[in-house]
Homo-oligomer: A and B are copies of this chain.
Amino acid sequence: MEEIKINDTFSTKINFKDYESKELTLNGMIQNLRNLAWGGFLILRTPDYHIQTVYDRNSINVDPDELRVESAVKITGTVKAAKIKDKSIFPQDFEVQVTKIEVLSTPSVNPLPLDTTKKELNAGLDTKFDLRPLTLRHPKQQAVFKIAAVIYNEFGNFLAENGFTRICSPKMVSSGAEGGANIFDLEYFGRKAYLAQSPQFYKQMMVGAFGRVYETAPVFRAEKHDTSRHLNEYVSLDFEMMLENGFIDIIQVESGMLRHVLAKLAEKCSKEIALLDIELPVLNKIVMIPFQEVHEIIFEKYKKDFRGEKDLAPEEENLIGQYAKEKYNTDFVFVTHYPSAKRPFYTMDDPNHPDQTLSFDLIFRGVEITTGGQRLHKYEDYLSKMEKMNLNPQDFKGYLQAFQFGMPAHGGLGFGLERFTALICGLANVKEASLFPRDINRLDP
């Protein structure tokens, strides 16, 4: 039996100022090496940043020519003031004069299959994904996921601060929320189960209980086409809320959330933003255009005729994004009142125009990033809508009971973390914003 004290601090961040001219021991991996005649520079990767260390060939305990990138090392040295050029990598004006290097482990392949020390990682997508444990050691690759983590966390922080309760809904379910064929099924103790395409049914049920709920969790879509916009598994950021003024309440909360996330990105990811040369968008007003009007604008301004189509083509999303940028100087445009024909059964139709819905998409830089809207909340409205759509209420019994128990007017939205991250980071393919992407051809690593 042993009884010990709990540490006071758990951070690996160091205030180098406190260590000036003092000895320090650092653990990390060798991110980069520059060996010169007199000695050289070793860039150490730690959980917080890349630290510049400098060594004198004659006064260290190892032969620097035998050091290798991606070795784990323990470095002892003296902290000294230094002008650090690239603040995007290391924010403090210090470096470490090495006195001792202890090599703790070394890659067992030599050379490494990719050079992660170059400014750009020169590899095709498949190579990048095949070698994920290595490619993610490249600073620019890492930066994408530092940004994704902040988006994920600040989405939740904003909602938790504003009365939303986090829920964790099951991913193995008895029926699909989005319908269609793109659903994975599995055998569940002798029965058929499905992987949840979205937490839709669960977040609605939980609005009845908690009033405002959110979830951040994986969803699964068995899409058979391999595109730059789709993943077969992605992280869905969802919320659902009681409404007082209709679906504008959802648009307001989404706008507030995005504004919060963007402010936090600017604050917490300045290194990554500089490294990736990103320009963060600004959201300072809500611009809304009804669906029908989008067709008209595209026709009048761009001479493309999509009028009569029940959905927006990717080209239209792109053009309306361009239009909003030119006319309203915004990267964000809400397209509202999509046709009923293209929305799922739980969507509320506009009482004034029953062929339109009280729903919307948010187009960001010409790409749809969220789908949201008001839902039906009366049991009898579900029954009549399902009859119209040839759905059997018996298949949705566990869900529909919520509406028998009384439900407030409500709505919400979902958006894909990877797609938003990719757009923020300027990545051409959404898969680059997934640590381990899943597509029709890829299940490994």
A-side residues, CB < 8 A to B, are 1-7, 10-13, 27-29, 45-48, 68, 70-72, 74, 104-109, 112, 130-134, 136-137, 142, 145-146, 148-149, 152-153, 156-158, 160-174, 184-189, 191, 193, 195, 201-202, 205-206, 208-212, 217-218, 220, 222, 224, 232-233, 235, 241-242, 244, 248, 252-253, 255-256, 259, 283-289, 293, 328, 377-380, 397-399, 401-409, 417, 434-436, 438, 440-441, 443-445
Contacts and interface: CB of A to CB of B under 8 A. Distances in A.
Contacts of A241: 47
Contacts of A161: 11
Contacts of A256: 6-7, 10
9 contacts: A6-B255, A6-B283, A11-B163, A47-B242, A134-B405, A172-B195, A172-B233, A188-B443, A398-B445
B160 A153 contact: yes
Given A48-B163, A107-B404, A170 B6 contact: no
A105 B205 contact: no
A440 B72 contact: no
Contacts of A328: 3
Given A11-B161, A13-B163, A48-B163, A286 B4 contact: yes
A241 B28 CA distance: 11
Contact of A209 (B142, B163, B189): B142
B253 A133 contact: no
Contacts of A441: 189
B170 A436 contact: yes
A137 B209 contact: yes
A363 to B, nearest CB: 13
A445 B205 CA distance: 10
Contacts of A403: 108
Q: Which among A163, A193, A399 has the highest number of chain B CB atoms within 10 Å?
A: A163
Nearest to A129: B398
Nearest to A166: B149
A407 B1 CA distance: 32
Contacts of A169: 435-436
What are the 9 tightest A-B residue pairs by CB atom distance, in nearest-first order? A398-B445, A47-B211, A133-B402, A70-B406, A107-B406, A72-B408, A47-B163, A149-B166, A136-B209
A205 B108 contact: no
Contact of A208 (B133, B168, B233, B283): B133
Contacts of A74: 244
A186 B48 CA distance: 38
A104 B168 contact: no
A47 B164 contact: yes
Q: Which among A1, A248, A255, A434 has the highest number of chain B CB atoms within 10 Å?
A: A1
A172 B242 CA distance: 33
Contact of A233 (B107, B166, B170, B434): B170
Nearest to A136: B209
Contact of A171 (B29, B112, B233, B287): B233
Contact of A149 (B165, B205, B220): B165
Nearest to A156: B153
A172 B408 contact: no
Contacts of A109: 404-405
A169 B436 CA distance: 7
Contact of A168 (B235, B379, B409): B235
A160 B259 CA distance: 21
Q: Which among A104, A153, A158 has the highest number of chain B CB atoms within 10 Å?
A: A104
Given A152-B166, A435-B168, A438-B170, A131 B6 contact: no
A208 B116 CA distance: 13
Contacts of A156: 153
Given A168-B417, A211-B28, A191 B406 contact: no
A76 B406 CA distance: 20
